[in-house]
């Protein structure tokens, strides 16, 4: 029987080869495998699992060697690898040792512009890569590397003038936890890149092999469930026959296991971390005039920023002018872009929004 099945399989393969070139079949199968590994790589990136990401990247690169030419998905994977290792200054992707991971990622990102449907998203990622290239160096105490990164961006890629001036001032003062750097954080970079991946995968589905494998797994589970029911039914029939035999022999004693009645219900049900609610702590600060209620979220980045952030000075007429000019140039709500054009002495986008509300209520804006 096995020999007959083998002969049938061999004949099926031969009939397929007669109708279609096997090289074309190989190309299609390779494309499916490549898409599956690309999808897996995007998932590892989202989960921030660096070791699993590296293993999947290695497998993807091996499959790519079977393809005659590199496609845009290969470039995206190279870009993701650099972002994933962006916090590590000792990881090198280019021959020039001075080019760090995020700097190399910025160069690749400019080549991926045609894969980004949203132009504002493309600009946001570009700015985040520049800011974080500097911020990571400052976090590691590498002030000279931060200055070198700025010069590299100025010479090799497009660096907005306002952003260059602001970052140069931050590097000169070595303000590691400057509000501007905290606003354009590494976590925000990861979230923005993930938004790009979601949009790309929606436009370029890569889940054919994933769906086929999922159906196969679901089918195998159903088959295993049917097989398990067979021994269970036979054991139940055996128990029933044993009870009947005992009754015939006059043995009316029925031995049943004791049932334990629970007086209380166990409510300590384990829940995964994703189901837990975020915790907030409520503090009350006494003041000469009244008591203020302040709610603070338990975030390490926020605590670091609070320790090092200087209290903002009073709003001056010059700062108000900067704010009005920025809104006139970029529009209301574009606080991040306005921050890059002017020096607001350590203020954040939220502070700009609050000040604009004050000016609007006072009818000081046209």
CB 346 within 8 A of CB 312: yes
What tokens were used for 365?
């804006």
Question: What is the rounded average pLDDT of the residues 161-169?
Answer: 93
How does DSSP classify residue 115?
A: G
How does DSSP classify residue 204?
A: S
202-244 pLDDT, tens per residue? 888 865 666 677 767 777 766 666 555 555 555 555 555 565 5
Q: Report if residue 229 sits inside a domain.
A: no
Q: Report if residue 252 sits inside a domain.
A: no
Give the Cα-Cα-Cα angle 39, 43, 45 (nearest 5 degrees). Answer: 115
**In this structure, what are the phi and psi dihedrals at residue 150, rounded to the nearest 5 degrees?**
-60, -45
Q: How many residues does the chain have?
A: 366
Rounded mean pLDDT of the chain? 76
pLDDT of residue 66: 73
Q: Report if residue 239 sits inside a domain.
A: no
User: What whole-number distance in Å separates Cα of residue 223 and Cα of residue 114?
Assistant: 46
User: What whole-number distance in Å separates Cα of residue 81 and Cα of residue 134?
Assistant: 19
What tokens were used for 314?
């009073």
Q: Is 314 left (phi over 0), alpha (psi -120 to 50) or beta?
A: beta
Q: Report if residue 82 sits inside a domain.
A: yes
Which residue, among 162, 166, 125, has the nearest Cα to 325 in the 3D structure? 162
What pTM does this model have?
Answer: 0.59
Last residue of one domain, picked from the residues 203, 230, 263: 203
Give me the domain span that covers residue 64. Answer: 23-203
Q: Report if residue 41 sits inside a domain.
A: yes
CATH number, domain at 321? 1.10.10.60
Please name every residue paired with 285 in a beta bridge, in sequence order, or none if there are none: 292
Provide the pLDDT confidence category of residue 193 given band limits of 50, 70 and 90: very high
Last residue of one domain, picked from the residues 181, 203, 225: 203
66-78 pLDDT, tens per residue? 766 668 888 999 9
Q: Report if residue 303 sits inside a domain.
A: no
Inform me whether the pLDDT recorded for 56 exceeds 70.
yes
Span of 113-122, 153-162, 221-230, 270-279 with lowest mean pLDDT: 270-279
98-123 pLDDT, tens per residue? 999 999 999 999 999 999 989 999 99
Please name every residue paired with 5 in a beta bridge, in sequence order, or none if there are none: none
Instruction: Give the dihedral sign, CA 56/61/64/66.
Output: negative
Q: Report if residue 253 sits inside a domain.
A: no
User: What whole-number distance in Å separates Cα of residue 145 and Cα of residue 149?
Assistant: 6
296-338 pLDDT, tens per residue? 344 445 445 444 555 557 889 888 888 988 888 888 888 888 8
Q: Report if residue 103 sits inside a domain.
A: yes
Contacts of 297 (CB under 8 A, 6+ apart): 278, 280
pLDDT of residue 337: 82
Question: What is the rounded average pLDDT of the residues 82-89?
Answer: 93
């Amino acid at each position: 029987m096995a020999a007959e099945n083998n002969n049938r399989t061999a004949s099926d393969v031969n009939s397929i080869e007669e109708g279609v070139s096997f090289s074309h079949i190989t190309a299609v199968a390779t494309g499916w495998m490549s898409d599956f590994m690309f999808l897996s790589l995007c998932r590892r990136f989202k989960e921030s699992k660096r070791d699993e990401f590296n293993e999947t990247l290695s497998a993807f690169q091996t499959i790519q060697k079977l393809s005659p030419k590199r496609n845009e998905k290969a470039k995206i994977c190279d870009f993701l690898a650099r972002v994933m290792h962006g916090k590590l200054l000792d990881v090198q992707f280019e021959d020039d040792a001075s080019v760090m991971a995020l700097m190399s990622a910025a160069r690749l990102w400019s080549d991926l512009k045609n894969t980004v449907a949203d132009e504002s998203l493309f600009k946001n990622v570009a700015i985040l890569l520049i800011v974080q290239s500097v911020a990571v160096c400052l976090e590691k105490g590498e002030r000279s590397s931060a200055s070198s990164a700025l010069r590299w961006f100025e010479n090799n890629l497009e660096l907005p003038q306002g952003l260059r001036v602001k970052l140069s001032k931050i590097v000169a003062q070595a303000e590691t936890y400057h509000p501007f750097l905290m606003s354009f954080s590494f976590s925000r970079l990861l979230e923005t890149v993930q938004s790009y991946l979601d949009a790309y995968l929606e436009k370029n589905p890569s889940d054919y092999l994933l769906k086929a494998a999922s159906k196969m797994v679901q089918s195998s589970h159903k088959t295993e469930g049917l097989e398990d029911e067979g021994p269970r039914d036979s054991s139940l029939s055996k128990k029933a026959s044993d009870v009947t035999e005992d009754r015939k022999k006059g043995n009316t004693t029925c031995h049943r296991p004791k049932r334990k009645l629970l007086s209380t219900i166990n409510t300590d049900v384990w829940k995964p971390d994703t189901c837990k609610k975020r915790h907030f702590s409520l503090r009350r600060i006494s003041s000469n005039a009244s008591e203020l209620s302040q709610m603070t979220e338990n975030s390490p980045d926020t605590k670091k920023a609070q320790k090092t952030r200087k209290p903002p000075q009073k709003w001056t007429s010059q700062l108000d002018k900067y704010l009005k000019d920025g809104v006139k140039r970029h529009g209301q709500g574009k606080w991040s872009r306005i921050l890059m054009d002017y020096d607001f002495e350590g203020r954040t986008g939220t502070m700009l929004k609050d000040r604009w509300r004050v000016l609007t209520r006072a009818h000081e804006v046209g």
